Amino acid sequence: MSAYIALADGRVVEGRSRAPGTGRGELVFTTAYTGYEESLTDPSYAEQVLTFSYPLIGNYGVREERFESDQIQPRVAVAREFTDDVAEWLESEGIPAIDGLDTRDLVTSIREQGAMRCGVAAGPDATPEQAREQLEQCIEMSDHTEIGAQVSVDEPQQYQGSGVKVTLIDCGAKQSIIEALTARDAAVTVLPYDATPAEVADTEPDVVFVSNGPGDPANFEAAGEVVEEFVGETPIAGICLGQQVVARALGGETEKMEFGHRGLNQPVRDLETDRVVMTTQNHGYSVADPGDLAVTQVNVNDGTAEGLEGVDVDVLTRQYHPEANPGPHDSLSFFDDVIEMAENRAPAVASD
């Protein structure tokens, strides 16, 4: 069965349909060669067409315990070759899947021209015209103004713990972030992406934590308002989109990257220790101006901000995914630092 990808640059790429259907989204790639289950269930890939640069995806099967959410998140999945296990999983969730094409050429196009809109048609009756029709309906990522509603919880969720009380603003949180916090005995309350400052206050947090998520941080205004309300009174932490939201709320600016960082081997240098760690990343926007915060870590490849800190106001953020799912464990200590920041702050708050 044939499959077609209509690209914003005018080309139509032909491949093999492994799961039928039509779809559209921003065409991006990841260099990860393991962790395909985590990548495909990562909410940060919402409204995107995910291309795997590694040639074979699926060589260790599909196990639900590795999922980062309860569904596949990209609109379409593309690889040089999918195993039957992965193809069947994608088809069972209604996600078009395409292989049998030169993903090296596709990735090169993204690197040279940037992440781009695309349309996809796959299946026995698929045509290039159908793919072009999908492309015509595809909008830019910044125009997905309500994308948070697609990936966030609808109602508050509680995770028991006897330690620090963490209120997690769910902008598309990976399950492994919650697990990393609860593993440190934190009591985690997960609130929707559009929670108000009053709703956050009702949880009496020791730390407010803004999660990862998809799309443009400018479209997560409610989370930014929470940061503005609590900064200086309650410790603030953030990961990925969370770092961007926090920076914007504190006078900073963000910008769209050409093709983003997506993979398991992004090198990050700590400016204080000069130590380099390898990190998992998945983002298409970055902090261009940290505002009131200080840049503490940078990407070795392009110098973009990977860590921000506000010592006087107890703010700590990371652009990458320190929970190590999937990927290296070099930066797991971030969660220890967040817990310590909250513990050190709590006595002072209680005495006011």
Which residue, of 139, 165, 185, is where some domain finishes?
A: 139
Give the per-residue pLDDT at 127: 98
Distance between CA atoms of residues 282 and 212, nearest Å: 9
Question: Residue 207: which residues within 8 A CB-CB, separation 6 or more?
Answer: 164, 165, 166, 167, 234, 235, 236, 237, 338, 339, 341, 342, 345
Residues contacting residue 174 through CB under 8 Å, at least 6 positions apart: 38, 42, 43, 44, 68, 69, 211, 212, 321, 323, 325
Q: What is the CATH number of the domain that holds 135?
A: 3.50.30.20
Element housing 223 (H / E): helix 221-230
The answer to whether residue 223 scores a pLDDT higher than 90 is: yes
Residues 128 and 159 in one domain: no
- Closest C-alpha to 116, from 53, 55, 49, 54: 49
Reading the block at residue 168, the tokens are 């997690």
Residues 220 and 316 in one domain: yes
Instruction: Tell whether pTM > 0.75.
Output: yes
Mean per-residue pLDDT over the chain, rounded? 96
Dihedral, CA atoms, 340, 337, 225, 147, nearest 10 degrees?
-130
Number of domains composing the chain:
2
Q: What is the pLDDT of residue 346?
A: 63
What is the phi/psi pair of residue 6, to 5°?
-95, 120
Flag whether 282 is marked binding: yes
**Which three-class secondary structure string do you get for 292-335?**
CCEEEEEECCCCCEEEEEEHHHCEEEECCECCCCCCCCCCCHHH
Catalytic residues: 240, 321, 323
Please tell me the distance from the alpha carbon of residue 333 to that of residue 329, in angstroms, as a whole number: 9
Residues 125 and 179 in one domain: no
Does residue 153 sit in the same domain as residue 94? no
Per-residue model confidence (pLDDT) at position 330: 83
Between CA 123 and CA 247 the distance in angstroms is 44
Same domain, yes or no: 95 and 32:
yes
- Token pair listed for 332: 């797991």
Tell me what pLDDT residue 77 has. 98
Q: Are residues 173 and 316 in the same domain?
A: yes
CA angle at residue 57 from 259 to 112, to 5 degrees? 20
Is the pLDDT at 99 greater than 50? The verdict is yes
Q: Given pLDDT bands bounded at 50, 70 and 90, which one contains residue 332?
A: confident
SS3 label, residue 54: coil
Q: Are residues 321 and 264 in the same domain?
A: yes
Per-residue pLDDT band for 351 (boundaries 50, 70, 90) equals very low
Query: Does residue 213 sit in the same domain as residue 314?
Result: yes
The answer, yes or no, to whether residue 100 has pLDDT greater than 60, is: yes
Structure confidence at residue 347 as a pLDDT band (50, 70, 90): low
When comparing pLDDT for 312 and 352, which is higher? Answer: 312
Residue 253, pLDDT > 70, answer yes
Domain boundary among 85, 108, 139: 139
**Binning pLDDT at 50, 70 and 90, where does residue 172 land?**
very high
Question: Looking at residue 350, what is its pLDDT?
Answer: 38
Q: Is the torsion defined by CA of 254, 259, 264, 266 positive or negative? A: negative
> CA 279, CA 256: separation in Å to the nearest integer?
20
Q: How confident is the model at residue 348 (pLDDT cuts 50, 70, 90)?
A: very low
Per-residue pLDDT of 43-73, as tens digits, reads 999 999 999 999 999 999 999 999 999 999 9
Question: CA-CA distance, 188 to 339, in Å (whole number)?
Answer: 12
Predicted pLDDT of residue 349: 40
Of 108, 139, 170, which residue constitutes the final position of a domain? 139
Q: Indicate whether 204 and 68 sit together in one domain.
A: no
Q: What is the pLDDT of residues 105-133, one digit of tens each?
A: 999 999 999 999 999 999 999 999 999 99
- pLDDT tens digits along 287-317: 999 999 999 999 999 999 999 999 999 999 9
> Are the C-beta atoms of residues 306 and 297 closer than 8 Å to each other?
yes
In terms of domains, do 206 and 286 share one? yes
**d(Cα 223, Cα 195) in Å, to the nearest integer?**
7
Strands (E), 95-218: 97-99, 116-123, 157-159, 165-170, 187-192, 207-210
Q: Is the pLDDT of residue 352 over 50?
A: no
> Is 284 annotated as a binding-site member?
yes
Q: Can you give the CATH number for the domain in which 332 is found? A: 3.40.50.880
Determine whether the annotation assigns residue 244 to a binding site: yes
Residue 101 corresponds to which tokens in the numbers above? 């094409």
Q: Which domain holds residue 99?
A: 2-139
Q: Is 154 in the same domain as 133?
A: no
Q: Is the dihedral of CA 127, 129, 132, 136 positive or negative?
A: negative
User: 213 among the known binding-site residues?
Assistant: yes
pLDDT at 37 over 90: yes
Q: Are residues 56 and 192 in the same domain?
A: no
